[in-house]
Structure 1
Amino acid sequence: MDFVGANILSVCQFERADIDRVFGVADAMAPYAQRRKVTRVLEGAILSNMFLEPSTRTRLSFGVAFNLLGGTVRETVGITASAMAKGESLYDTARVLSGYSDVICMRHPQEGSVAEFAAASRVPVVNGGDGANEHPTQALLDLYTIRKELLANGRTLDDFRIAVIGDLKYGRTVHSLCKLLCLFDKVQLTFVSPPELAMPEAVVEKLRAAGHKVVITDQLEASISHVDIVYSTRIQEERFASPEEANQYRGRFRLNREIFTRHCEPNTVIMHPLPRDSRAEANELDTDLNEHPGLAIFRQTDNGLLVRMALFAMLLGVEELVDDYACPVRWHSRRSPV
């Protein structure tokens, strides 16, 4: 894949070698993400964040990643805050924004909308989530996290075991992650969900065609007993016709310290794309796991900065120049690694 000037719309764009390249650049971003050094390699470049659905982590981490490379960020949040509320088309919006920007990150509630927007853009567009379809940068940071966590336990991305739990029908993060896993060998996947929220059959068939073992079940405890990764997701209530419809599935699959200790192997890693639903009726990942060494959800968010910094550097063709524009940090930071 030629990254310079490319759009990042789907994980289907990537070959395994592309993943290795992104992760290599991401590794090199650690001193800057951790504020041990500063780089101004993207000084003068402008990122436009166009987020037409609610977002905290994705929107902020895109912005912070660009800032950490020295660039400037401008944002539009919510359809009502954009000219689309006045009937402007995706085409017109893309033509205008790409005149103001060097990169655009977009989240939109409709599947395929970001690709339509990118077709009219004059600068690279990164998909920050399009409906229930895909979330490619989340999948990349998830895979990067899985790789780091497995390496710490002497394993690799080939021949590992993962249980994916929750709303697998509407969860775009797990759709994208599973498509990426097709690039690797002998992955064992267990999908745990109510039958009505099962992983789409097209994704399951793609995994099986890649030679992976796939088990589909609605039984949580048996499914987490012999895996390396437990990846939990929330009920995507915004995709349902009503809150009442979503509520019938909320809280079905809860993980706490007692369940983990009783059923999981000691080195099992717990992941979640966040936000985790901590309301009493859901409580997907109990707060009694917050200090558990296997809980990787905040390591995931830290890794998101590394991966998104890497993508920006590669899209703008400066990944080899980052250190050339580095200087020492001139302030005291109390930040500590998760």
Structure 2
Amino acid sequence: MDFTGAHILSINQFERSDIERIFEVADAMEPYALRRKATRVLEGAILGNMFFEPSTRTRVSFGAAFNLLGGEVRETTGFQNSAITKGESLYDTARVLSGYSDVICMRHPEEGSVSEFAAASRVPVLNGGDGSNEHPSQALLDLYTIRQELKDRNRGIDGLRIAMIGDLKHGRTVHSLCKLLCLFQNVQVTLVSPPELAMPEDIVEKLREAGHDVTVSEELTHSITHVDIAYSTRIQEERFKSKEEADLYRGRFRLNQAIYTQFCEPNTVIMHPLPRDSRADANELDNDLNQNPNLAIFRQADNGVLVRMALFALVLNVADQVDKYAHPVTWYSGR
């Protein structure tokens, strides 16, 4: 695809070569993300960070990624702080705010809302999550993390063995990741969830049409016995009609060090899009995993900055100019 000026709305718009290009640029961003160098390549550019649904990592990492490229960030968080509460349409909001920004990142609780907004925007729009539909940048950073974690073992993404665990019905992160995996070969996917929270059938069908081996299971321990990646997801409480309904499923698929030691291969990588629910009745990934070197959840979060820097650089057509505007850092970063 031609990234310049493009919206990033769905995994469906990418070919495998596009993913390889994004990852190539993300690799080049490492010195800047680690504060070894600074760049002002986007000096004067403005990111409109519009988050109408709660977010910590996605919102802050998009902002940090833009700042690290030298740009400025303006934020709207929550409906209560926007004119939408006064009845303004997404069309009007997009027409106005795209006049104030050079690129916009948007999260919204309704499926399809970001695409609707992008259709009226005068600048590129990046989907930061639209309801239970998609989260393309999360899928990209997840796949980038898988690539990095397997690289030391002389393994690639082709031939990957992955278990996805938890709320697969509402988990937009796993929806997008499954679509992304369809661009690769010979992937074994085990989908572990209660039947009521199963992966949407159309996504399962896409995986099978891509030639992948897909297994559906309700049982955790034997599903993680022979996998490279155990990808856990949170029960998406905000997608249920009530907390009581969500509580029916909370805590069903807990992973701790004892279970890991007994059932996982020694180098199985543990991933989670975060936030992990550490409350006692959920405890999806136990704190006793925190010292496990194969717990990749914080490396995964760090990789989000690299991938989002790459997306900004590509969409704003500065990927090949970043080093030209580089200079040494002047502060202690402790990295």
TM-score normalised by structure 1 residue count: 0.99
Distance 1:251 1:310 in 2: 36
Q: What's the secondary structure of 1:100's corresponding residue? A: coil
Q: How does 1:192-271 map to 2 (within 5 A)?
A: 192-271=192-271
Q: How does 1:1-338 map to 2 (within 5 A)?
A: 1-335=1-335
Displacement after TM superposition at 1:90 (Å): 0.1
Distance 1:176 1:75 in 2: 25
Distance 2:86 2:150 in 1: 49
Q: What's the secondary structure of 1:267's corresponding residue? A: coil
Displacement after TM superposition at 1:160 (Å): 1.3
Distance 1:153 1:191 in 2: 24
Matching residue's letter, 2:117? F
Distance 1:252 1:60 in 2: 30
Aligned residues: 335
Q: What's the secondary structure of 2:138's corresponding residue? A: helix
Q: Alpha carbon RMSD of aligned pairs, Å? A: 0.4
Q: What's the secondary structure of 1:105's corresponding residue? A: strand
Displacement after TM superposition at 1:9 (Å): 0.3
Displacement after TM superposition at 1:130 (Å): 0.2
How big is each residue's C-alpha offset from its partner over 1:108-134, in whole Å with a ceiling of 9 and x where there is no partner? 000000000000000000000000000
How big is each residue's C-alpha offset from its partner over 1:214-244, in whole Å with a ceiling of 9 and x where there is no partner? 0000000000000000000000000000000
Q: What's the secondary structure of 1:99's corresponding residue? A: coil
Distance 2:78 2:271 in 1: 28
Distance 1:98 1:231 in 2: 36
Matched-pair contact (CA < 8 Å) for 1:232–1:272 = yes
Q: What's the secondary structure of 2:99's corresponding residue? A: helix
Q: What's the secondary structure of 1:307's corresponding residue? A: helix
Matching residue's letter, 2:5? G
Distance 2:291 2:86 in 1: 48
Distance 1:129 1:81 in 2: 19
Displacement after TM superposition at 1:165 (Å): 0.1
Distance 1:151 1:136 in 2: 22
Unaligned 5+ runs, structure 2:
none
Q: Where in structure 1 do 4 or more consecutive aligned residues deviate above 2 Å?
A: none
Matching residue's letter, 1:260? Y
Displacement after TM superposition at 1:325 (Å): 0.2
Displacement after TM superposition at 1:151 (Å): 1.1
Matching residue's letter, 1:114? V
Q: What's the secondary structure of 2:35's corresponding residue? A: coil
Matched-pair contact (CA < 8 Å) for 1:29–1:309 = yes
Displacement after TM superposition at 1:213 (Å): 0.2
Displacement after TM superposition at 1:150 (Å): 1.2
Displacement after TM superposition at 1:152 (Å): 1.6
Matching residue's letter, 2:119? A
How big is each residue's C-alpha offset from its partner over 1:55-91, in whole Å with a ceiling of 9 and x where there is no partner? 0000000000000000000000001100000000000
Distance 2:152 2:208 in 1: 28
Distance 1:333 1:184 in 2: 37
Matched-pair contact (CA < 8 Å) for 1:251–1:281 = yes
Moved more, 149-158 or 119-128: 149-158
Identity level (%):
76
Displacement after TM superposition at 1:149 (Å): 0.7
Displacement after TM superposition at 1:154 (Å): 1.9
Distance 2:334 2:160 in 1: 36
Matched-pair contact (CA < 8 Å) for 1:153–1:267 = no
Distance 1:220 1:235 in 2: 15
Distance 2:169 2:277 in 1: 17
Distance 2:62 2:225 in 1: 35
Displacement after TM superposition at 1:334 (Å): 1.6
Distance 2:152 2:278 in 1: 29
How big is each residue's C-alpha offset from its partner over 1:175-205, in whole Å with a ceiling of 9 and x where there is no partner? 0000000000000000000000000000000
Displacement after TM superposition at 1:321 (Å): 0.2
Matching residue's letter, 1:328? P
How big is each residue's C-alpha offset from its partner over 1:253-273, in whole Å with a ceiling of 9 and x where there is no partner? 000001000000001000000
Matched-pair contact (CA < 8 Å) for 1:95–1:120 = yes
